[in-house]
Chain A
Amino acid sequence: MKIAEHIDPWICLTIFCSFTVVLFILLPLIEMIVQPSFQDLKETVQDPDVRRSIWLSIYTSGLAAFISFIFGTPFAYLLARKEFLGKKFLESIIDLPIMIPHPVVGIAILGIAGKNHWIGHLMHEVGICVMGTVTGIVAVLTFVGLPFYVNTVKAGFEAIPVRLENVSRSLGASLSRTFLRVTLPLAWRSMLVGIIMCCARAISEFGAVVIVAYHPMIAPVMIYERFTAYGLKYSQPVAVWLIVVCLVLFFLLRIFSLPKEHQT
């Protein structure tokens, strides 16, 4: 009885809710992972088409994250450090890709990439083709992944005291030098998390990609194709491999970023 009195109902609630959330996420996934037999998994991973699609998924997502890193970092810095007219508006534009239904993203991108649009026309002239190409896939994945990178890194920059940058500036360092020598070393972890988030978002994208590029097939499109053409039995193993590969990759990225964290 005494013990019961000591347990705070709030703690009980947090534990209960945590369990519910974890179960909610894990149960369907575990169900899916244990469904395919070992034989199915082996056969699937030996299928060159499957390996190609998983690899394509990983490197297109990686490219999307890289592009987000290059263009998103300065942008996130601007948003974190400067106050200007229309900033709130700009921030909501960044969030747009999160809200827009995925197929709409694909349709929108195809819309400007077609010959009927002057941009698309120009691209065709130069030889850039979006429909059914890796270029198209990366464009879509960057579109959907970018907000995750920018928002994460923006929060990272905001957490760094402006004071430190001011000190550097007062000692005569230029803006770019300050960014490279002071801000970047302090914010790199948030950038890594941003890259992970962006990659994770990109790798899971299906709806927009299938509109822009059915072939070459990224893993989610292949899972869909396998399901439609052969049924559950042959789509699940592909899904399992994608999950396993992603889990390992993201786990490694997190591990890689941990020791430095302990030092700081």
Chain B
Amino acid sequence: MARFDRPLKRVLVLVFLAAVAFSPFSVRAEPQGKLIIFHAGSLTVPFARMEKIFEAKYPKVDVLREAGGSTKMARMVSELHKPADVMASADFAVIDKTLIPEHAQCNIRFATNQLVLCYTDTSRFANEVNADNWYEILGRKGVIWGHSDPNLDPCGYRSLMVLQLAERYYHRPVLYDRLMANRPKKNVRPKSVELVSLLQTGNMDYAWEYLSVAVQHGLKYIKLPDEINLGNYKYDDFYKQASVKVTGKKPGTWITRTGKSCTYGITIMKDAPNPEAAAAFLEFLMDPNDGLKVLKEMGQPPFIPCRVPTAEMKARLPSSLQEFVEVRD
């Protein structure tokens, strides 16, 4: 009996879940209107692709995307009160710090990334550089390399963390200081994606980028060992040793960012002008056959399923989304 019961129960639970999951959509009208998505610059290419597929699926929805440094985009919401439905950040901690609890109530981790050193054919020493000598080449005189602003872009402080971790990993004391001395301030840009055009026009030789950016822009890149590339959460304990001081809440104050693996977070705004479309988009994004597949193709390995930190947060999600997330710290 018990043996017979269990599958039946399971089927019933599944049916119930499905009913819960789909009921809002059978009751609610088809999502329509404008859907405003703020996202990290490093998500531009996959989100552009998703926009196309999503709009084909929901022809009545017009997706309006705005890309920028994640911290800036979060501020657009929290300070300028710019209306947005969905916000996707390159560092999920930005959502926790800037948007929760006033502007958002969930934070779903959906993808990862890692840092790579990008270059082009015309970069100085391009035919010499490899995973073993990159840190020596970046220290050479005349080599122009850069990263994005650590105060504005998570990719910026992460680039610096990679250098710190390299110092430990390769046992090269003062490597970090030596490299930074070879990087004048003018090589720093607000967003990491901006560095791509500097590489392509020959204004810069090497730039720190996310793997996804390198893949999407067809750049040459050096892949670093997992111990220092900030891409594997199994090495979070090692990453922790890197720390970068970035500007705090007001000029002259500082906070310390500690190394940890790159994890993307996404949330729906509390006062989203179009919550139906927002939920539909997240459902699309978190589907392993839709959004997550696009991310995977573009060099941003997704979490399948996506993750939320607490069961409480999961419960707060629109019911249609709950089947796509697991509770995991």
- Contact surface of A with B, Cβ cutoff 8 Å: 47, 49, 107, 110-111, 113-117, 120-121, 130-133, 210-211, 213-216, 224-234
| In contact, B187 and A111 (Cβ under 8 angstroms) | no
Contacts of B187 in A (CB 8 A): 132
With both beta carbons as reference points, the residue of chain B lying nearest to A110 in the complex is identified as B201
B258 at the interface (CB under 8 A from A): no
Contacts of B122 in A (CB 8 A): 115-116
Q: Once bound together, how far apart are the Cα atoms of A130 and B201, in whole Å?
A: 12
12 new A-B contacts, CB < 8 A, other than A132-B184, A215-B188, A227-B75, are: A110-B198, A110-B201, A115-B202, A115-B203, A116-B122, A116-B200, A121-B202, A131-B204, A214-B189, A229-B71, A232-B79, A233-B250
Shortest Cβ gap from B257 to chain A (Å): 13
| In contact, B186 and A117 (Cβ under 8 angstroms) | no
| In contact, B201 and A114 (Cβ under 8 angstroms) | yes
- In the complex with contacts A211-B194, A228-B71, A229-B71, A113-B189 CB distance below 8 A: no
| In contact, A113 and B251 (Cβ under 8 angstroms) | no
Shortest Cβ gap from A35 to chain B (Å): 12
| In contact, B71 and A133 (Cβ under 8 angstroms) | no
B247 at the interface (CB under 8 A from A): yes
With both beta carbons as reference points, the residue of chain B lying nearest to A211 in the complex is identified as B194
Give the number of chain B interface residues (Cβ < 8 Å): 30
With both beta carbons as reference points, the residue of chain A lying nearest to B194 in the complex is identified as A211
Contacts of B251 in A (CB 8 A): 47, 49, 226, 230, 234
- Contact surface of B with A, Cβ cutoff 8 Å: 69, 71-72, 75, 78-80, 122, 149, 151-152, 184-190, 194, 197-198, 200-204, 247, 249-251
Q: Once bound together, how far apart are the Cα atoms of A216 and B187, in whole Å?
A: 10
With both beta carbons as reference points, the residue of chain A lying nearest to B150 in the complex is identified as A229
| In contact, A131 and B198 (Cβ under 8 angstroms) | yes
For the complex of A and B, list the 6 residue pairs with the smallest distance between their C-beta atoms, beginning with the closest. A132-B186, A114-B201, A116-B202, A114-B202, A115-B202, A228-B72
Q: Once bound together, how far apart are the Cα atoms of A215 and B149, in whole Å?
A: 10
Q: Of B71, B72, B185, which is within 8 A of A215 by CB? A: B185
- In the complex with contacts A230-B251, A232-B79, A117-B201 CB distance below 8 A: yes
Q: Once bound together, how far apart are the Cα atoms of A210 and B72, in whole Å?
A: 15
Shortest Cβ gap from A46 to chain B (Å): 11
Q: Once bound together, how far apart are the Cα atoms of A117 and B75, in whole Å?
A: 38
Contacts of B197 in A (CB 8 A): 107, 110, 211
Shortest Cβ gap from B80 to chain A (Å): 7
- In the complex with contacts A132-B186, A232-B80, A234-B250, A110-B203 CB distance below 8 A: yes
With both beta carbons as reference points, the residue of chain A lying nearest to B184 in the complex is identified as A132
Q: Once bound together, how far apart are the Cα atoms of A68 and B249, in whole Å?
A: 41
- In the complex with contacts A214-B189, A225-B152, A230-B247 CB distance below 8 A: yes
Shortest Cβ gap from B83 to chain A (Å): 17
Shortest Cβ gap from A96 to chain B (Å): 20
Contacts of B151 in A (CB 8 A): 225, 228-229
Contacts of A229 in B (CB 8 A): 71, 151-152, 247
Contacts of A215 in B (CB 8 A): 185-186, 188
Shortest Cβ gap from B208 to chain A (Å): 15
Q: Once bound together, how far apart are the Cα atoms of A121 and B124, in whole Å?
A: 13
Contacts of A117 in B (CB 8 A): 201-202
Shortest Cβ gap from B86 to chain A (Å): 20
| In contact, B190 and A214 (Cβ under 8 angstroms) | yes
Shortest Cβ gap from A261 to chain B (Å): 43
Contacts of B190 in A (CB 8 A): 210, 214, 224-225, 228
- In the complex with contacts A115-B203, A216-B186, A230-B250 CB distance below 8 A: yes
Q: Once bound together, how far apart are the Cα atoms of A107 and B71, in whole Å?
A: 24
Contacts of A216 in B (CB 8 A): 185-186
Contacts of B189 in A (CB 8 A): 214
Shortest Cβ gap from B66 to chain A (Å): 14
Shortest Cβ gap from B31 to chain A (Å): 31
Q: Once bound together, how far apart are the Cα atoms of A213 and B194, in whole Å?
A: 11
With both beta carbons as reference points, the residue of chain B lying nearest to A226 in the complex is identified as B251
Q: Once bound together, how far apart are the Cα atoms of A59 and B224, in whole Å?
A: 44
Shortest Cβ gap from B74 to chain A (Å): 10
Shortest Cβ gap from B91 to chain A (Å): 14
